[in-house]
Amino acid sequence: MTYCATTSIICIARKSVTTIIIIKKFRRDDILTGELKDLKQSFIKRLEKLDRKRFKTDNIISVELAKQVSALSKEVNRQIGLLIDRQNEVQYVIVGDNRSIFIPELKRFRLVPGKLRGLRLVHTHLYGEPINDDDITDLAMLRLDSLTAIYVDEAGLPKSMDTIYLLPPNIENKTYDYLDEKDVYNQNINFLEFIRELEKEIEDKTAALFQVSSGNNAILAGVFKSKTEAKMALEELKELARSAGLNVLDTVYQIRNKVDPKYLLGVGKLKDLAIKAYQIGADYIIFDNNLQPSQAKEISKIVELKIMDRTQLILDIFAKRAHTDEGKLKVELAQLKYIMPRLSVKDDSLSRLTGGIGGRGPGETKLEIDRRRIKDRIAFLNRKLKQISKVRYTQRKRRLQREIPTVSIVGYTNAGKTTLINSLTNSSIYADNLMFATLDTSSKRLRFPEEKEIIITDTVGFIRDLPEDLKDAFKSTLDELYDADLFLHVVDISNPEFRKQIESVNKILEELNLIDVEQILVFNKIDLLDEESLKELKNEFPKAIFISAINRKTFNELLNRIFYILFRQKVKNGSS
């Protein structure tokens, strides 16, 4: 077998037969990009020769290459840009108009949070115009190693140059600075060594200032109508992120009456958010507002990080917390319903909405299947859940026939409901200081004097603006509430927004037509309040019970109230 390098032909001799195999040369088709439509083929070939350029100098660009790109730029009266890697090899040649260039999507050079891209942009300026806001935005958004403008003179030669680079996080919030390197023909800085030291400094300062963890760092964002609403919503989103195992680095919000239909945030604010996320080493951007599929698509064109909305974050927590077969089926159903409308978006946005946190759980293996199979799977899950619901109904029916009163603990997520049922019944149901720490319904017996007993049931925590898909998926859990004779409405009194949380729970109960069920308002976590604040709240809510779920000594009044309502009050009402 012989190989001809110049013709890319392999000749294989077998006895008297010679077989010729023509091998297609490997070619990076996207290396030449931009405004190519009106260019002559001979000029395009000269541009293509630039992609083979690789220089040995440690400078920003070799003098020879600077002269070549300047001459070509002047000849065609358009800006020309080169994206050069750290091996000094030209990876992209970009042709623009006479005032700007458009940088293509850099798929071959993945952006790693907290690091630089590994590419530097060198491009021509034909009219002596300085580095502008668009250049600075490109530098920051794409996390380029540097951005250089070569100023071309009338003869088509490089006259001088300016170079900007990104700064590590700093107290002045300054994004970039200029290199002291103006002379194309006499460059003094060892650029590659400078970039390696800069990237190390960026990593060290980012880790020190923002306590960046490996792969699970998030920046939170949203659009709100007021600062008060923004503060409350982002605090809750921060707790949700913490429950999902994310390290929240910062929060960003925009006050406006309506969300932007294309980008959710205004495009300028979105770019600022992306730049900040890159600068502080975020892996995720999580929006408090629910993203429409079209918005996810447009945002993914600007932001190269993983994006997630509030619904997906809650789904992720549910996937993490569901342990029973029923819980896992409900999570998968909700995930598939969430994914379904997004499958029609043919771009990277779905992949940015998945993977790692936000993509785990029983539904994660279903992302690549087609719409028909998803519909079939949804129908199958609905049938399975109906069967489980029938079993639950039979169990509840038996309890009702035995006339055992049922008490359901309801309340906002992380109010201490599971801790309370554990303390009341000496149980060991999993509980944690996290939102949605428990999802699966738990029922326990609680015995009273006089041979009386009740069934006390823990339910999934409520939350404001619970997504409709989650309401449907967890309907069988909420069905337990319809059999309750009494609700214990548990409230985290240490939360500054507890009044709004009470309103949210009552709103959900009203939507479920359960607002008329008798309830005891139980203020939990009194151990976290001072005596003066507790006294004021007791005056404000005279009918409420005040407890600490971790201190059984505070339960006497609660147990007496439950016993009175379920037994003595019923007897009185019956005799009257």
Residue 498 has, within 13 A of its CA and on its CB side, a CA count of 20
218-308 matches 403-575 in fold: yes
**C-alpha distances out from residue 251 to 319, 338, 499, Å:** 25, 25, 24
Tens of pLDDT, residues 486-505: 999 999 999 988 998 999 88
φ, ψ at 549 (rounded to 5°): -65, -15
* Amino acid of residue 506: N
* Amino acid of residue 86: R
Q: Evaluate the CA torsion angle 545, 550, 551, 552 in order and state its sign.
A: positive
Tens of pLDDT, residues 224-248: 999 989 998 999 899 889 888 899 9
Average pLDDT over every residue of 456-461: 80
CA dist 496 and 57 (Å) reads 61
Residue 450, classified by CB atoms within 10 Å of its CB into exposed (0-12), middle (13-18) or buried (19+), is exposed
- Contact by Cβ (8 Å): 201, 270: no
**C-alpha distances out from residue 478 to 80, 500, 513, Å:** 62, 21, 12
What SS3 string covers 243-256?
Answer: HCCCEEEEEEEEEC
Tens of pLDDT, residues 17-33: 433 333 333 344 568 88
pLDDT value of position 441: 67
- Contact by Cβ (8 Å): 109, 119: yes
- 3-state SS, residue 96: coil
Average pLDDT over every residue of 50-76: 89
Q: 479 pLDDT exceeds 80?
A: no
- 3-state SS, residue 289: coil
Angle at 162 between CA 110 and CA 159, to 5 degrees: 125
Tokens of 82: 């080169």
The predicted model scores a pTM of 0.75
Q: How many residues does this entry show for the chain? A: 576
Q: What CATH superfamily classification does 218-308 receive?
A: GTPase HflX, N-terminal domain (3.40.50.11060)
- Contact by Cβ (8 Å): 93, 32: yes
User: Which stretches within 402-530 are classed as H helix?
Assistant: 417-425, 468-473, 475-479, 498-511
CA dist 247 and 241 (Å) reads 7
Lowest mean pLDDT among 140-154, 281-295, 452-466: 452-466
Q: Which is it for strands 158-166 and 176-178: parallel, antiparallel or unpaired?
A: antiparallel
**What would the CATH number be for the domain defined by 403-575?**
3.40.50.300
**Residue 468 CB partners (closer than 8 Å, separation 6+):** none
Tens of pLDDT, residues 309-343: 998 888 888 777 777 777 788 888 888 888 877 76
- Contact by Cβ (8 Å): 95, 39: yes
Domain boundaries, the chain: 32-210, 218-308, 403-575
φ, ψ at 369 (rounded to 5°): -80, 160
